[in-house]
A and B are shown apart, each in its own frame.
Chain A
Amino acid sequence: MTLLDSTRSRIRNRGAHNGNRRVGAVEFIAAAVALFLLAAALFPSWLAPYQPLAINPADAFQAPSPDHWFGTDESGRDIYSRVIFGARESLLIGAAATAIGVGLALVLGALAGLGGRLLDFGVGRLLEVLFALPGLLLALVFIAIAGPGVVTTTVAVGLSTAPGYARIIRGQIIQVRSSAMVEAAVVLGRSRAQVLRRHLLPNALAPVFVIGTLGVGQAVVWAASLSFLGLGEPPPAAEWGAMLSAGRTYLTTAWWMTFFPGLFIVLTAAASTVLGRGLQRRAVS
């Protein structure tokens, strides 16, 4: 309940105090970062000077230089190229996991919000049980059952974020259902399906998109954490979390192996948060 309340009150406050739609400097930077990441994910070979898996033992552990902007790793692979190629993997996992989470949450939320008191009670208790377990633990349990890998990691992150979304969606649906416009539509004799399609879903879903944008950043961080633990893609894949983990061994002698993949995880999460907040503000005001 607290997450929902705070989100809603924040939305209201923002809406009340500053209704401006001006794009701030921070938002501009965030958009630029997001565009760059998107470009990296779609066309990595345009941006990366080297192949991500090309080893060159003679060039191992090179500090950042004009040849290798982010330095090289223990096998002489170019870290900048690996970070760029890793963007696709990380963003894809982030987006897919969020989609899975939101999709599952839609079903649960709609069941609870529209399905009557009994169903609402059932789904509510289920969500409470899921909330009792920390999200990452839920993901680890799923991986322990299904075995490590990219697909399981994605599904695991999606599953573990679903309860949070489901609560928001349920609250939103209940709120919209009792609003004046739905009442008016019912009074005017619109069918259930029409009410659902024209009033309930659009109004209940708008905030979900906003929160989903925020969630992508979170999902990227979680996916990187899981692959840091060795539960994601097997080596030598260029994946940010795995790169972070490989660099950890050499932290004292080759900081760049950890710093740059870490920086990109932070940038992705930050950019998606800033953009998500921006959307949130506009959606309400």
Chain B
Amino acid sequence: MPILPRSLSARFSTAVAAAAATALLASGCSPAEPETSQSPVSGGHLVYATGDAEPTCLDPHVGGNYPQALVSTQYLEPLVSLNKEGEIIPWLATDWKESKDGLSWTITVRDDVHFTDGVKLNAKAVQANIEHLKDPATGSSTGYLALEKVTGTEIVDEDTIRINLSEPDSALLESLSQPWLAIQSPKALKRSKEKNCQSPVGTGPFKVADWDKQNSITLVRNEDYNSPPADAAHQGPAYLEKITWRFIPDSASRYAALQSGEVDVIDNVQPDTINAARDNESIEHLNAPRPGASNRIELNSGKPPFNDPLVREAFVHSANVNAAISSLFFDTAERSYSPLSSVEELGYSAPDLFTYNPEKANKLLDKAGWDQRDEQGYRVKNGKRLSLKFPVSTNQSIPAEISLFEQIQATAKKVGFDVNLELMDLSSWYGALAANEYNLVSAPYTKVGPDVLRILYHSDGIKPAPSGYFANLSQLDDPKLDKLLTEAGRETDPKRRAELYEKAQKIILNGYYILPLYDQQNHFLHRSNVEGFRALPTVSTPTFYDTWLSQ
């Protein structure tokens, strides 16, 4: 099983270092002191500018989307984390154990940690959080789904909790490592929802001081902090005194603010900006692809014409994705051939299935009965044109991605597909999906671990959730796949689990239900005096605990 490179980040930072070194030599400067020999300085004020939407609630239990995860990583902490190798490591929990039958987990939390409102972290606090997530009144979506198999909890002793399950859950710890399941002060959770959304209380290195809506969130240092994850670079409180979390939706303005030094870190960096920043010595790049699913186009197999596998296969071969990626993404994104992100250890890739091959596509369409063409060159069968609806959410697809879809539209036209791109805002887009008014769609999904496959491709995901949204957008309905995914979700033997997920991915890929594009892009640019900045290996949100500002 070919394992894709873990991320481009290592390669890229080497390139940056090499470029910087060359530049120093060329300009004849005396080499600056290597960064590592400088010791971190405490204090300072960092300004972060996000291009993601402003959350409507700062408590990531409510709803549970990426913009919430970005900011809440600074003030809330989950029970466990992952290290770079993808193994579970301690955070607020020190110990965990699965029962023999797999139907319960015993988790021990640290006994020396306090929330920033003074309440002590203990088993009861964890219980209150799990209840909060499962309470329909909270309106949790991501956290709620992750705890689907949890039937209840028991307090074993002051610091130990038992979580009972309806069936074994191999993904439980991965789920608990996500920022959407972070632990908040039980006292704070008892306040009104409105209040908790405004200023959630956690154990994190920073706390929410102020939220100036549509402008910024002010985070100040938690002076009593003592609970970093096991892979942190230091102990004790954070170095930074204060973080201003600004909302700058326009990509060009965000980069201009970084260039001028008005802000120190920006996210959602567009490919052309990364390319432009390569020549800027005072700016550095961090690439942290998100876990979960790769960015892919789902082919709706639930209705014609894609209910015919031949037409799906033809479409996949008619799309010239590689040429589009290299020109539009300036080599900042790598082509994916897997339903899973390249950071997922269990990702399975099948590059041979997704070649650009118009002749093959033409033959497949002829074979499928679409053997006539109308005067505009589009394929026709029984007087009906081979038209495809492709609703595109302008909130979720960046401009380069929309251009990529235009290029796919152009190459697919050559073999006779009439692809209609429909740009729409998020709510119209959800509407189009709920009404089954789509043949193609691209929808990102971030989650730790391969269990995301169950959410996206189990036939249960075709039934809409109470919110009207359903996750199985390719409408893949295969009992064999359902069985594999359910079994893999229960399997705790790592080897067996890997085998099951590989089989499942083969079914998804070989059936041409998806056209994988690239990882969910997650690029940060920061000024080079921002040291010790990294993304958490869980869902790649930035953490500023180890960050300090050098001169």
Contacts and interface: CB of A to CB of B under 8 A. Distances in A.
Interface stretch (A24-32, A185-193, A228-236): A228-236
Nearest to A236: B406
B307 interface: no
Interface in A215-262: 230, 234-236, 246, 248-254
Contact of B327 (A74, A234, A251): A74
A103 interface: no
Interface of B: 251-252, 255, 270, 272-273, 275-276, 320, 323-324, 326-328, 394, 399-400, 402-403, 406-407, 409-411, 420-423
7 contacts: A58-B327, A61-B327, A74-B403, A75-B406, A75-B410, A76-B327, A249-B252
A55 B321 CA distance: 13
Nearest to A245: B399
A57 B324 CA distance: 6
A248 B250 CA distance: 10
Given A60-B327, A230-B394, A253-B272, A75 B421 contact: no
Contacts of A252: 252, 255, 272-273, 276
Chain B interface secondary structure, helix, strand, loop or mixed? helix
Chain A interface secondary structure, helix, strand, loop or mixed? loop
Contacts of B420: 234
A77 to B, nearest CB: 9
B410 A235 contact: no
Nearest to B251: A249
Contact of B270 (A75, A236, A249): A249
Contacts of A4: none
A53 interface: yes
Contacts of A55: 406-407, 410-411
Contact of B403 (A58, A230, A246): A246
Interface residues of A, number: 22
Nearest to A231: B423
B174 to A, nearest CB: 36
B421 A234 contact: yes
Nearest to A250: B272
A121 to B, nearest CB: 41
Contacts of B421: 234-236
B423 A235 contact: yes
Nearest to A230: B423
A251 B402 CA distance: 17
A236 B324 CA distance: 15
B104 to A, nearest CB: 51
A230 B425 CA distance: 10
A54 B327 CA distance: 15
B272 A234 contact: no
Contacts of A58: 323, 327
Contacts of B327: 57-58, 60-61, 74-76
Contact of B422 (A53, A57, A234, A248): A234
